């Protein structure tokens, strides 16, 4: 560690003393996604995905990087499972690659399913709880060729996929998550084209979102039919929006930002409706086609809600009917250029509890930061990441004290990986990956996290550990 941080190793990352997050029933984990770590895009009879197609287009990803190799997790899964156990976490959040486990005709690809069976079984043997996301953005390309999430039929194909995976892997999973960040899939994939499949039209984004959420509802039914009793939910990314201007138009811009970034997903899930201001103000004429019964499917009660949080945005009015992001000067930022603003996570959790009385138990399913980490003398001093996590842990602890039912926290990410359009330059991992040798090296943040978890276990009473 740097000389300016001489505190005991566990305290460099730990939540505040006496925090509910230090209790043995609070779930601590790390997270990854299939396309970002697996590589082996032609193994197991895996089909092409939209990210294979998108990242192969020149200029779509930084440096022309693709997920073809990634972290070679497909080959190194056993060692990676042991690495997760070595960290001492309670749980691991991973995703299934839809193109790896299902043939184009809808039949199971047993070779691909066996890969996940082996991984989940080894994790279970280590006593690690397994939280599985069904869709973390790698849509089979053959479905995109038929319209992707613009085609209502994709929601039904997703339900068939959910049923297949729940049937085949049920009993090896402690929690199911239908979708990861539908906002990103809809807006970045279909609204501004920054992510696969690279389309850019607000009308596409709103229709894609509706079909994604419809797929969630149908998938939830499929999970409960084929793996009854296992908790299931969804993962939403959320962002804090504020304005440094007191002008009412700028304050309204901040409100519209949070409406679009947060309530576009949460309101249909928890209240059964879309925010009208999206179609009336922000994107006139872009309301999706909603058929009778759709919203009842979407608003089915969930066992939990996953929340991913990373940063705050400073908003101003665009002078028309929307908002524009005006970055603040002299604030701490990560390698992504995102402002470090832990208070935003507390603010959002408290607001969601106030606005949505039926808010289910919450897990922080992603939180972390990218930095330009380098191995020097056999170690990686990532002081900023440790400080970042410690402050966000404290923000969640305050939200729990305020009555928000937060039950777990998954740090993003287990290891450096393919960061979508940013390729391999941006490093989010607790564990450093040398992409030439594939050597994994624990960063100082991983060592501090590990030490905190060891201390937590050591101070827990035997009775508490068995409840």
Q: What pLDDT digit, counting tens, does each position of 83-106 carry?
A: 999 999 999 999 999 999 999 999
Feature table: binding site: 36, 136, 180, 310, 412, 419-420
pLDDT value of position 55: 98
pLDDT value of position 1: 38
Is 343 contained in some domain?
yes
Is 147 contained in some domain?
yes
Is 4 contained in some domain?
no
Q: How many residues does the chain have?
A: 467
pLDDT value of position 2: 43
Is the pTM of the predicted complex or chain greater than 0.95?
Answer: yes
The parent domain of residue 412 ranges over 9-465
Percent of residues, the chain, with pLDDT higher than 90: 96
Catalytic-role residue among 38, 168, 258, 366 = 366
Say which residue, 1 or 74, is predicted with more confidence.
74
pLDDT value of position 7: 85
Question: 113-166: per-residue pLDDT in tens?
Answer: 999 999 999 999 999 999 999 999 999 999 999 999 999 999 999 999 999 999
Average pLDDT, stretch 283-302?
Answer: 97
Torsion of CA 366, 369, 373, 375, to 10 degrees: -40
Question: 34-55: per-residue pLDDT in tens?
Answer: 999 999 999 999 999 999 999 9
- Banded model confidence at residue 459, pLDDT cuts 50, 70, 90: confident
pLDDT value of position 236: 98
Is 2 contained in some domain?
no
CA distance 324 to 253: 8
pLDDT value of position 5: 65
Number of domain units in the chain: 1
Average pLDDT, stretch 260-285?
Answer: 97
**How deeply is 272 buried, as exposed, middle or buried, from its count of CB atoms within 10 A (0-12, 13-18, 19+)?**
middle
CA distance 111 to 114: 5
pLDDT value of position 145: 98
- Banded model confidence at residue 21, pLDDT cuts 50, 70, 90: very high
pLDDT value of position 465: 36
pLDDT value of position 4: 54
Is 64 contained in some domain?
yes
pLDDT value of position 324: 97
The reply to whether 366 belongs to the active site is yes
Is 165 contained in some domain?
yes
Query: Does residue 31 surpass a pLDDT of 90?
Result: yes
Average pLDDT, stretch 402-418?
Answer: 98
pLDDT value of position 226: 98
Query: Does residue 462 surpass a pLDDT of 50?
Result: no
Q: What is the DSSP string of 105-168?
A: TS-B-HHHHHHHHHHHHHHHHTT-EEEEEEESS--BHHHHTTTGGGSTHHHHHHHHHHHHHHHH
Is 114 contained in some domain?
yes
Q: What angle do CA 71, 77, 79 make, to 5 degrees?
A: 95
To the nearest whole number, what is the mean pLDDT of the chain?
A: 96
Query: Does residue 463 surpass a pLDDT of 60?
Result: no
Q: Indicate which CATH number applies to the domain containing 25.
A: 3.20.20.80
Average pLDDT, stretch 225-229?
Answer: 97
- Banded model confidence at residue 300, pLDDT cuts 50, 70, 90: very high
pLDDT value of position 130: 98
Catalytic-role residue among 144, 168, 181, 339 = 181
Phi, psi dihedrals of residue 214, rounded to the nearest 5° = -65, -40
Feature table: binding site for substrate: 36, 136, 180, 310, 412, 419-420
The reply to whether 181 belongs to the active site is yes
Say which residue, 426 or 464, is predicted with more confidence.
426
Is 448 contained in some domain?
yes
End-to-end CA distance of the chain: 36
- Banded model confidence at residue 461, pLDDT cuts 50, 70, 90: low
Q: In 10 A of CB 235, how many CB atoms?
A: 27
């Amino acid at each position: 560690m740097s000389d300016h941080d001489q505190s005991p190793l566990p305290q460099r990352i730990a939540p505040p003393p006496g925090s509910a997050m230090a209790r043995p029933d609070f779930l601590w984990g790390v997270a990854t996604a299939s396309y970002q770590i697996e590589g082996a895009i032609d193994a197991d009879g895996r089909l092409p995905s939209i990210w294979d197609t998108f990242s192969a287009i020149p200029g779509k990803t930084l440096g022309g990087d693709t997920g073809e190799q990634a972290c070679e997790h497909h080959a190194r899964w056993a060692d990676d499972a042991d690495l997760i156990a070595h960290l001492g976490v309670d749980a691991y959040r991973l995703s299934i690659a839809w193109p790896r486990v299902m043939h184009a005709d809808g039949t199971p690809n047993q070779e691909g399913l066996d890969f996940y069976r082996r991984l989940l079984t080894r994790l279970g043997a280590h006593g690690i709880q397994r939280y599985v996301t069904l869709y973390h953005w790698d849509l089979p390309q053959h479905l995109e060729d038929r319209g992707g999430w613009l085609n209502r039929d994709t929601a039904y194909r997703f339900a068939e996929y959910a049923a297949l995976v729940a049937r085949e892997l049920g009993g090896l999973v402690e929690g199911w998550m239908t979708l990861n960040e539908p906002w990103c899939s809809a807006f970045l994939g279909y609204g501004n084209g920054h992510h696969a499949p690279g389309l850019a039209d607000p009308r596409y984004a709103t229709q894609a979102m509706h079909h994604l959420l419809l797929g969630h509802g149908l998938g939830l039914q499929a999970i409960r039919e084929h793996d009854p009793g296992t908790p299931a939910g969804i993962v939403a990314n959320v962002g804090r929006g504020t304005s440094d201007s007191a002008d009412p138009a700028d304050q309204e811009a901040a409100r519209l930002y949070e409406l679009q970034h947060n309530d576009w997903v949460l309101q249909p899930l928890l209240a059964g409706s879309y925010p009208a201001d999206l179609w009336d103000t922000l994107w006139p004429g872009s309301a999706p086609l909603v058929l009778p019964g759709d919203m009842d499917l979407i608003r089915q009660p969930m066992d939990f809600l996953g929340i991913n949080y990373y940063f705050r945005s400073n908003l101003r009015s665009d002078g028309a009917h929307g908002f524009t992001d005006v970055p603040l000067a002299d604030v701490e930022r990560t390698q992504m250029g995102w402002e470090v603003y832990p208070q935003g996570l507390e603010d959002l959790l408290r607001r969601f509890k106030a606005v949505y009385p039926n808010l289910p138990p919450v897990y922080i399913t992603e939180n972390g930061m990218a930095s330009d980490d380098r191995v020097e003398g056999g170690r990686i001093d990532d002081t900023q990441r440790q400080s970042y996590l410690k402050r966000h842990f404290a923000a969640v602890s305050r939200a729990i004290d305020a009555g928000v039912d937060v039950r777990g926290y998954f740090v993003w990410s287990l290891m450096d990986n393919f960061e979508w359009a940013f390729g391999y330059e941006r490093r989010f991992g607790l564990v450093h990956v040398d992409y030439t040798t594939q050597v994994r090296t624990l960063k100082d943040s991983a060592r501090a996290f590990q030490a905190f978890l060891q201390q937590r276990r050591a101070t827990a009473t035997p009775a508490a550990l068995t409840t």
